[in-house]
Amino acid sequence: MLRAIRKGAKLYVVDPRRTSSARWAQGWLGLDVGSDIALANAVGREILERGLENREFIEHATSGLEEYRATLAPYTLEYAQRVTGVPAQAIAELAAVYATAQRAQLCWTLGITEHHNAVDNVRALINLALLCGHVGRYGSGVNPLRGQNNVQGGGDMGAIPNKFPGGQDVEDAANTEKFEKAWNATLPRERGWNLTEMFAAMERGELDTLYVIGENPAQSEADQSHATALLRGLKHLIVQDIFLTRTGELADVVFPASASWCESEGTVTSSERRVQRCRKALEPPGEARDDISILCELARRLGHDWPQYSAQQAWDECRSLSPWHAGMSYERLDALGGIHWPCYDESHPGEQFLHARLWQEPLRGPRAPFAAVEHDPPVEALDDAYPIRLTTGRRLDSFNTGVQSGGYRSPLRRGETLDISVEDAARYGLSDGDEVRVSSRRGSVVLPVRIDPGLRAGLVFTTFHFNDAVATNVLTIDATDPQSGTAEFKACAVRIEPVRTAATA
Amino acid sequence: MQTRANVELTIDGRAISVPQGATILDACARLGIATPTLCFLESLTPVNACRVCVVELEGARVLVPACARKAESGMVIRTDSERVRHSRKMVLEFLASSVDLSTAPDALRYCDEYGAQAQRYGSAAATVAQPVKIDNELYVRDYSKCILCYKCVEACGADAQNTFAIAAAGRGFDAAIATEYDVPLPDSACVYCGNCIGVCPTGALMFSSEHELRERGLWKEDEQTRTDTICSYCGVGCTLTLHVQDNDIVKVTSPVENGVTHGHLCVKGRFGYSYVQSRPENE
């Protein structure tokens, strides 16, 4: 992005915090946490109001504009200013710049998706892309920036309750029959549970056995105490990981695994749909084994005659069943430095961007629908008892629960802090390093404060990188989006009580 | 896309046609003419600092740097004349007499090729020798080995990282690469992406792991394997080249020609690997 800015691209940053990205931006829209739809709808309304929409594209490739337009009616600039805290003028500017750009992208991360209305947030942004025709063309698009090296690939490979590999729906009988034939097995006809639904099923007593591979839900789930209690209540818990994580400590059986990116072979898919090869550089320690080998061995113990697959054999089988990946031989992945899906055969170069069909004459396939979505504030409103908004996130040198990043000696690491605005620091009489107790309706933690001039009054920020020291997720709320199953890590209500000043510590 | 016109020039008596905008260095490469470079890297803006790539351009008063000078139609260039060889040799001798090139394989190879004899300046020749700066646990800065090529400054600045933690300070022989006010790195703007290490041609900037192994006489480059894989952290999908010695990662780089990274990484990809080798035998 900085390279693009150097070439003249304009960057607008929409974030409750004035992040380091905001320093490079033409404009920073510091909206209130959870007011994204109000902002997006106001941008949409402004674009229509000023006649800046791409009528040709809308007519050619979309549906539902009139219903969308009707939904936008109340989202005036003044209303949006009131709800988001962003000046009307800045919203109008963003709308004009986005709509009149030759090419424009909307990029987002978890600030959009870690909300109880995550899917609606995303739809609100897609609406804007449809409104301006900023999709399906080189340099334009909607672009969720992935936070993990294979979160895209995991879903693409079917590690998701409703899809087979290659985005093929499990509730489409033709797909199920194809996979049944290839695997010589009977497959369920209905979609399974996502992570959130699994926890709900544990709560109802319908799920009593869990096999966790490469995830640490005992520390990564919102409302951590509750999640851990559910994991403890399982009849049987299997954990397969490269470390004995906190989740592993709760397990009945632990399968030590090799590190997927450097102790075994395979592929991962990056944020831009680029499938690339991981290669083995190290021998794994002790009894650790490749994930594929563990799964095959387990299948054999369960009485199935599975051969010993290599990573390449597993990949070639996937290619035979997933049209998206059909053309991606290991040889081609090596030669081309990765390939973007879909790649239908070995002469296909892979698609640089998606949705180009929306511009084709005549339009083939379904129209892209506008979605009428409404602003819906965070589940936990602020009140006198919990007057401060806590939003959680990450810092540059650390990663998620810190299992991977905790070990290297980063000079940037300061341990966990509660980042607090200059105004709130003054209000509570706090200086850098003073310890505070942060409490939500679900739990409390004690940690030092760091004054961050990039935060506005009433907003505090922390991470969950140092979970053993500060279990941030005991604070967060497990209000989840019914469609995506994502929890509202980005917004809960807390109160702050000074515990100890740094000077006396 | 508009196709660019070609330009025709002559190098060492051979005609060559290159696209407009190509440099003399590009043209030389097409003809298979090896040109020494130290401050040049394809991912960075040329700064013409080292002058080791100079060539003779007919009609020009002075030698011109091949890495930065654009090819023009009708240019007649000589890359192996006595004047060129002499100039390159002098540049290499001055560098070798004042700078510790012991971890700069390319520079040492050029010295050999051009018969540079730094020792003829005697033991009294001024040097940039100074203590190694060790102020963090990820990488060291040994400016005794710095040839002031500016690559680290460019990688830290507008060409890659846009952090601007370092720049050239001082003038003349006393010029050196430094943080603002020469503060230790942890007090500077440094974000430890290590992109400066990635572009350093002399080993002045070095992983602490490599520095320590070298100090203990245990750095065995011949026995190391290099394996390309994908970073385990975020979704960008950076290619990491893992340099492995005795089943331990001792250094991480990324190929400069890689379309995702252009050789550049962040702190986690560059340094955040120790979790795969925190084994009992390493404790």
Give the ipTM of the model, two decimals please.
Answer: 0.94
In this structure, what DSSP letter does residue A272 have? T
- The edge-to-edge listing of strands for the beta sheet with A266-269 is A266-269, A274-278, A339-340
Look at A148 and B277 and tell me if their CB atoms are within 8 Å.
Answer: no
φ, ψ dihedrals at B141, nearest 5° = -125, 115
Fold category of A151-340 in CATH: Rossmann fold (3.40.50)
Joined tokens for residue A396 = 């540059």
Question: Which residue of chain B is at minimal alpha-carbon distance from A148?
Answer: B234
Least confident of A82-86, A499-503, B160-164, B247-251: A499-503
Which stretches in chain A have pLDDT values below 70? 504-505
3-state secondary structure at position A113: helix
Question: Which residues of chain A neighbour B279 with C-beta distances below 8 Å?
Answer: 285-286
φ, ψ dihedrals at B53, nearest 5° = -95, 10
Joined tokens for residue A337 = 């430095």
Q: Which domain covers residue B216, as residue numbers?
A: 139-282
Report the pLDDT value the prediction gives residue B282, as an integer from 0 to 100. 46
In this structure, what DSSP letter does residue A344 have? -
State which H helix or E strand residue B190 sits in. Answer: none
Look at B158 and A6 and tell me if their CB atoms are within 8 Å.
Answer: yes
Report the pLDDT value the prediction gives residue B283, as an integer from 0 to 100. 44
Contacts of A40 (CB under 8 A, 6+ apart): A121, A124, A125, A127, A128
Which residue is it, tokens 């290991």? A330
**CB proximity under 8 Å: A 246-265 to B:** 259-263
CA–CA gap between residue A274 and residue A133 (Å, rounded): 24
CA–CA gap between residue A118 and residue A488 (Å, rounded): 8
Nearest CA-CA distance, residue B225 and chain A, Å: 8
φ, ψ dihedrals at A385, nearest 5° = -75, -35
Question: CATH 2.40.40.20 region(s) of chain A?
Answer: 388-500
Closest CB to B230 among A147, A278, A285: A278
B13 touches chain A (CB under 8 A): no
Report the pLDDT value the prediction gives residue A103, as an integer from 0 to 100. 96
CA–CA gap between residue B142 and residue B202 (Å, rounded): 10
Instruction: Report if residue B56 sits inside a domain.
Output: no
Look at A2 and B231 and tell me if their CB atoms are within 8 Å.
Answer: no
Report the pLDDT value the prediction gives residue B207, as an integer from 0 to 100. 97
- CA-derived radius of gyration, chain A: 24
Question: Which residues of chain B neighbour A263 with C-beta distances below 8 Å?
Answer: 276
Question: Which residue of chain B is at minimal alpha-carbon distance from A414?
Answer: B186
- CATH class of the domain defined by A388-500: mainly beta
Contacts of A336 (CB under 8 A, 6+ apart): A349, A350
A2-140+361-369 CATH? 3.40.228.10
Look at B266 and A281 and tell me if their CB atoms are within 8 Å.
Answer: no
Choose the mutation target among A408, A412, A414, A465 for the interface with B, i.e. most B CBs under 10 Å: A408
**CB proximity under 8 Å: A 150-179 to B:** 151-152
Nearest CA-CA distance, residue B45 and chain A, Å: 13
Q: Cα A175 vs. chain centroid, distance in angstroms?
A: 27
pLDDT tens sequence across A359-402: 999 999 999 999 999 999 999 999 999 999 999 999 999 998 88
Report the pLDDT value the prediction gives residue A402, as an integer from 0 to 100. 87
Question: CATH 3.40.50.740 region(s) of chain A?
Answer: 151-340
3-state secondary structure at position A141: strand
Report the CATH number that the domain containing residue B259 is assigned in CATH: 2.20.25.90
Q: Are A217 and A227 in contact (CB under 8 A)?
A: yes
A272 touches chain B (CB under 8 A): yes
Report the pLDDT value the prediction gives residue B280, as an integer from 0 to 100. 54
**Residue A501 Cα distances to A428, A435, A463, B210, angstroms:** 11, 6, 22, 42
Nearest CA-CA distance, residue A314 and chain B, Å: 18
Closest CB to B236 among A270, A408, A410: A270
Handedness of CA B109, B111, B117, B118 (dihedral sign): negative
The number of folded domains in chain B is 1
Q: Are A292 and A255 in contact (CB under 8 A)?
A: no
Closest CB to B225 among A269, A281, A286: A281
Q: Are B24 and B18 in contact (CB under 8 A)?
A: no
State which H helix or E strand residue A102 sits in. Answer: none
Beta strands in B191-259 (DSSP E): 205-207, 225-230, 239-245, 248-253
Q: Which residues pair with A144 in a beta bridge?
A: A108
Choose the mutation target among B141, B207, B234, B247 for the interface with A, i.e. most A CBs under 10 Å: B234
Instruction: Report if residue B243 sits inside a domain.
Output: yes
* Single pTM value for the model: 0.94
**Residue A118 Cα distances to A122, A377, A397, B107, B269, angstroms:** 6, 12, 26, 55, 29
Closest CB to A148 among B136, B235, B259: B235
Q: Are B20 and B73 in contact (CB under 8 A)?
A: no
Instruction: pLDDT band for B1, please (50, 70, 90 cuts).
Output: very low
- What DSSP string describes A174-210? HHHHHHHHHHTS---SS----HHHHHHHHHHT---EE
Q: Which residues pair with A236 in a beta bridge?
A: A209
Question: CATH 3.40.228.10 region(s) of chain A?
Answer: 2-140+361-369
Q: What percentage of chain B carries pLDDT values higher than 70?
A: 97
Report the pLDDT value the prediction gives residue A505, as an integer from 0 to 100. 46
A403 touches chain B (CB under 8 A): yes
A352 touches chain B (CB under 8 A): no
Question: Which residue of chain B is at minimal alpha-carbon distance from A282?
Answer: B247
Q: Are A268 and A261 in contact (CB under 8 A)?
A: yes
CA–CA gap between residue A391 and residue A393 (Å, rounded): 7
Contacts of B26 (CB under 8 A, 6+ apart): B18, B71
Instruction: Report if residue B160 sits inside a domain.
Output: yes
Report the pLDDT value the prediction gives residue B39, as an integer from 0 to 100. 97
Average pLDDT, chain B: 95
Instruction: pLDDT band for B278, please (50, 70, 90 cuts).
Output: low
Report the pLDDT value the prediction gives residue A403, as an integer from 0 to 100. 84
Least confident of A397-411, B36-50, B135-149: A397-411
